[in-house]
Amino acid sequence: MTILKRRTLITMLLMGLIFVSCSNDDDEELLGNWIRKSSFDGPARSSATSFVIGSYAYVATGYTGDEYLKDLWAYNSDGDYWEQKADFTGIARSSASGFELDGNGYMGLGYDGTNRLKDFYQYNPDTNIWTQKADFAGSARYSAVGFQVGGKAYFGTGYDGNFLKDFYQYEAGSDSWTQVNGFSGNKRRNASVFTIDDKAYLVAGINNGMYQVDFWMFDPSTDTWTKKRDIDQDDDDDESYNDDYVIVRSNASAFSMNGLGYLACGESSKTIWEYNPSTDVWEEKTALEGSGRTDAIGFSINERGFVLLGRSGSSYYDDVWEFKPQDEQNDDDN
């Protein structure tokens, strides 16, 4: 073969490889689009707390890198604007936990820069008044999860000097806490929870420097936890399972909409994964179009999902993003 023919053949092979590479990249494009919304009106922060009442999301407390906060802001999802509400009446803090129950918001626990906390408060959106309630029955802690599912509200896990896995239910009528069944997985802090069809799903978190990969579903009607597929487990016998999962993380944001769960960001990540409870399978979606971040918050309002605030290193954010999981990614809409 002449040198000219050999060079021609090599060129053709290289062009073929480039074409195949481009085709594979196109095949692997992820679905989902992020729309930037009205920026948070308060100071940029991480480790804030949120609860959703009707078409409003309420965001309180957090840490700016210099100051612990106690302000409260309401996001009007219909009008895409923020309104400042009555300051939280407890001590300024970060890494608190919250939930909505019977049309009121609740918040407690956290860290004030010196102490771990266990006080607990109710916010009435009609009167714009905070009322202190019975202290949490477990140990003072921060980075716990709070959620309401099936009309019942819970705090659990977190860190009190020890990593924890206990859970307590709050009864608003009697203003009391009752310890309930915990799950049989590992202790952790900075886990994430989303709810689907009156079930809560607990995922991720960290324990003694180790990311936790076990994944649990809680049914409040039976007070039982069921183990789901680990979020990093290879399963060669199940062809429906993608063994390339890289979901392990802590300090992530979570929400649900339209019967699917979402886990986003954490440890300065931008990735987001969608969970389908009918198949127990995760699918990666288009990464957040803003900066990667940790200690952000996520919530859903009327089947719309949002991620906001957080930090990356010493940079603190006040941006707000809405996720459209079925739309194609568009660089021109932000």
The contacts of residue 86 (CB under 8 Å, 6+ apart) are 72, 123, 128, 129, 130
Contact 157, 145 (CB under 8 A): yes
90 or 332, higher pLDDT: 90
Question: pTM to 2 decimals?
Answer: 0.90
**CA dist., res. 143 & res. 188, Å (int):** 9
C-alpha 254/C-alpha 298 separation (Å) is 5
Name every residue whose Cβ is closer than 8 Å to that of residue 175 and which is 6 or more positions away in sequence: 133, 134
* Residue 263: per-residue pLDDT: 98
The confidence score (pLDDT) of residue 22 equals 36
In this predicted structure, the answer to whether residue 2 has a pLDDT above a threshold of 90 is no
The mean pLDDT value for 150-173 works out to: 98
CA 279 to centroid of chain Cα atoms? 21
pLDDT band at 137 (very low <50, low <70, confident <90, very high): very high
The answer to whether 308 touches 319, Cβ cutoff 8 Å, is: yes
Alpha helices in the chain (DSSP H): 3-27
Burial class (CB in 10 A: 0-12, 13-18, 19+), 35: middle
Band (pLDDT 50/70/90 cuts) for residue 8 is very low
Which of 11-20, 145-154, 241-250, 288-297 shows the lowest per-residue confidence on average (mean pLDDT)? 11-20
- Tens digit of pLDDT for each residue in 82-118? 999 999 999 999 999 999 999 999 999 999 999 999 9
Average pLDDT over residues 65-80: 98
Q: What digits encode the pLDDT tens for the residues 269-282? A: 999 999 999 999 99
- With 90 as the cut, is the pLDDT of residue 329 above it? yes
